[in-house]
Structure 1
Amino acid sequence: MILRLPAPGRATRPYRPRAEPARFTPGGAPLTSRVVFAAAHVVADPYADTGPGGPAAVDWDATLAFRRHLWSHGLGVAEAMDTAQRGMGLDWSGAAELIRRSAAEAKAVGGRIVCGAGTDQLAVTGIGWPYGLDEVRAAYEEQLTVCEESGARAVLMASRALAAVAKGPEDYLEVYGRLLDQVSAPVVLHWLGPMFDPALEGYWGSVDPDAATRTVLELIAAHPGKVDGIKVSLLDARREIELRRLLPDGVRCYTGDDFHYPELIEGDDHSASHALLGVFDPLGPLAARAVRALDAGDAPGFRALLDPTVELARHLFQEPTRCYKTGVVLLAWLAGHQAHFTMVGGLQSARSLPHLARAYELADGLGLFPDPERAAERMRHLLIVQGVAQ
């Protein structure tokens, strides 16, 4: 089969799909050298008659099957994070149900899981945020309760509401400090940069990254034993390396840097990052194989597997970065993990056809599709529906 992919000037170019299927066998020894979570997407129910702004309609069977796929390769699942469209189609009610179902599934299969706890049940009415710090903390507490009652460790997600109402670092220390005082198990903090969500500009009380880092370190130092680690999604490798070297012993740095993850996970003579990555949703089996090479002391083999994936990752996460979920779901459909390319909130429309075609081409070149012929046929149908003759 030859596909005609979009080219500049309203033209097309030929592409011959890969013939060899991907061969990533589930199972194998548990990952040991790094703790690795894939932030997982949700599968929409394409038969649901939903409208703009309505509650998300989730295909629970397909959604949980995808989590079992990730667990089968030895990866942990980071649930109800931004990859699952928190705040971009999945509301708190849907996220709470997702947490409960996925945590129960993790317990049944012995899978590792962490779940996002945020403040997205605080709806905006009119202009601005009609809330104070007490309401923000109470929203966090409600979501933490759902995580803990489900038996899952929590990720304290960055909060748009807190970013809007906090007047400085002291307000972050107050809210997070009160939360850490009451958690029953260590949590993961979440530093999400404005490239992922513009509403988070100046998080931790300052637009100066050095000042923000000092606030984070002060918070962690004041609550020993309460912080498992911090997920850093700033797309700034130097900043992440500097932060992880300053963390207290026993506190992990989880890279959320979808541009520089191979070198950050490999680490240096002083420190290394663990991983909590949205790009490991489509890269799961390959990423697990790479980390097993690192487990065996084969750093060059680790890089040989993971370095070629960076071009795809940078493509998926190009600006506007928050729309990376569209490419992730496209690849899940092409790989056969779901039967359709439909997303909650209609987010399948968030990327252009040339962007999606390039994502397909890069993923196919990496051998990510278990059935390249099926992937090519599905891509062909998408191209035809979008008006690109084949």
Structure 2
Amino acid sequence: MTIELPYGSYHPRTDPHPALSSRPRPQSPPPSSTTGSQSPPPPPPLSSRTVFSAAHVVADPYADTTPDGPAALDWDATLAFRRHLWAHGLGVAEAMDTAQRGMGLDWPRAAELITRSAAEARACGGRISAGAGTDQLTTPPSSLAEVSKAYEEQLAHIESAGAQPILMASRALAATATGPEDYLTVYGELLRQAREPVILHWLGPMFDPALTGYWGSSDLDAATETFLQVIAAHPDKVDGVKVSLLDADREVDLRRRLPEGVRCYTGDDFHYPELIAGDDPSTPGARFSHALLGIFDPIGPLAAEAVRLLDTGDRAGFRTVLDPTVELSRHLFAAPTRYYKTGVVLLAWLAGHQEHFTMVGGLQSARSLPHLARAYELADRLGLFPDPALAEHRMRALLTVHGVPQ
């Protein structure tokens, strides 16, 4: 298919990327209209790395709502996508940035999403973690105590649902804290209360400008020291840290400084193959990153296939499968990075995981038509569409709606 736009021409290929051409396109089990308890069991878990995909939500296209109104979700399609990820052996990171948390998904719907997804995970044996934040605060907090109380409410909800908590970066805390000591206080209280080890999430300002200066400083070296202080004070309550700064060297340095037993989950959607592969195993003190990534939403089958190769010790095979996906990831996460969700949902629609290209808050309009066309081209080259003809038909329909002659 050739897409002719006034901005240029794209020439998607229906054959997979050359590095993948000898293998069949990764397939998912067909969507099921039944509950998760009747779904086939997931394959054996990935063994060499702990891998989570941050999953998007499917909006209800028939809901009569507004961009700033309550989120309306298509629950069947949203949960079916999570079963798709579990079917490949991936964990699901629920109600995170990829699910439009703070960009259309409000806390009441996020709380319901966590409850429903955790129940699905139990039913089909899938692994699930979920984001705890402070986004129920709709007005600026008056004190750190108010921020802590909001965090505690969400932490308790996630624990009661049976998911592993991820302590997300908080806009309210960023706006209220006066320095590093306030972060040490709030996170210290939360970690003391947590029933089981949690994941700490450091989301950079490229994903959310409101988080500029998190951990008490815009100097990343100083911020890192505070972050490490939080972990060092409660290493038994920290399963791992997710770092989303798009800075591979900084992540490598950070993971070398983590206490023994604390994992580093890469959130770097630009450099994930090299970070997950890690140091040469023969190197003394070799380290690697686990993964909690938004890009593993659209490339989940390839990500799982790559890590299974790594499970056998085949580092070269791992890179052969995963390296070609980086161009797509860098495209989807191009500045302004926070709008990457639009490309993620487009690809889910083109791949047949949902019946429409509608997003919570109308965010389907957040990327240009040339950007979306390029995303289609790159995904098609990777063989990400189980039904290339369906993907082409839907892409043509989108172009027609935008006035591009077919």
Both structures adopt the same fold (TM-score exceeding 0.5): yes
- Alpha-carbon offset, residue 14 of structure 1: 5.9
Instruction: State how far apart, in whole Å, the 1-side matches of 2:9 and 2:235 are.
Output: 57
Instruction: State how far apart, in whole Å, the 1-side matches of 2:391 and 2:112 are.
Output: 31
What pairs up with 1:1-390 in 2 under 5 angstroms?
2-6=1-5, 10=6, 13=9, 15=11, 17-18=13-14, 22-24=25-27, 28-124=43-139, 129-268=140-279, 269=283, 270-390=286-406
- Alpha-carbon offset, residue 51 of structure 1: 1.5
Instruction: Report the secondary structure of 2:48's partner residue.
Output: coil
Instruction: Report the secondary structure of 2:344's partner residue.
Output: helix
Let me know the Cα RMSD of the aligned residues: 1.3
- Alpha-carbon offset, residue 3 of structure 1: 3.3
- Alpha-carbon offset, residue 210 of structure 1: 1.4
Structure 2: which amino acid aligns with 1:92? Answer: W
- Alpha-carbon offset, residue 28 of structure 1: 4.1
Deviations 1:107-142 (A, max 9, x none): 111100000000001113xxxx24210000000001
- Alpha-carbon offset, residue 19 of structure 1: 5.1
Structure 1: which amino acid aligns with 2:25? Answer: A
Asked whether the 8 Å contact 1:22–1:371 carries over to 2, the reply is no
- Alpha-carbon offset, residue 29 of structure 1: 3.3
Instruction: State how far apart, in whole Å, the 1-side matches of 2:132 and 2:146 are.
Output: 15
TM-score, structure 1 as length reference: 0.96
Instruction: State how far apart, in whole Å, the 2-side matches of 1:196 and 1:77 are.
Output: 20
Asked whether the 8 Å contact 1:232–1:240 carries over to 2, the reply is yes
Asked whether the 8 Å contact 2:298–2:348 carries over to 1, the reply is yes
Instruction: State how far apart, in whole Å, the 1-side matches of 2:9 and 2:225 are.
Output: 51
Instruction: State how far apart, in whole Å, the 2-side matches of 1:136 and 1:385 are.
Output: 44
- Alpha-carbon offset, residue 25 of structure 1: 5.9
Instruction: State how far apart, in whole Å, the 2-side matches of 1:215 and 1:315 are.
Output: 32
Instruction: Report the secondary structure of 1:280's partner residue.
Output: coil
Deviations 1:138-195 (A, max 9, x none): 0000100110110111000000000011011100000000010111010000000000
Instruction: State how far apart, in whole Å, the 2-side matches of 1:122 and 1:11 are.
Output: 42
Deviations 1:296-346 (A, max 9, x none): 000000000000000000000000000000000000000000000000000
Asked whether the 8 Å contact 1:197–1:322 carries over to 2, the reply is yes
Asked whether the 8 Å contact 1:17–1:376 carries over to 2, the reply is no
Asked whether the 8 Å contact 1:3–1:380 carries over to 2, the reply is no
Structure 2: which amino acid aligns with 1:236? Answer: D
Instruction: State how far apart, in whole Å, the 2-side matches of 1:178 and 1:16 are.
Output: 52
Deviates more, 1:104-113 or 1:205-214: 205-214
Report sequence identity in percent.
73
Closer, same or farther: CA 138–14 of 1 in aligned 2, 3 Å: closer
Instruction: Report the secondary structure of 1:44's partner residue.
Output: coil
User: Aligned residues, how many?
Assistant: 382
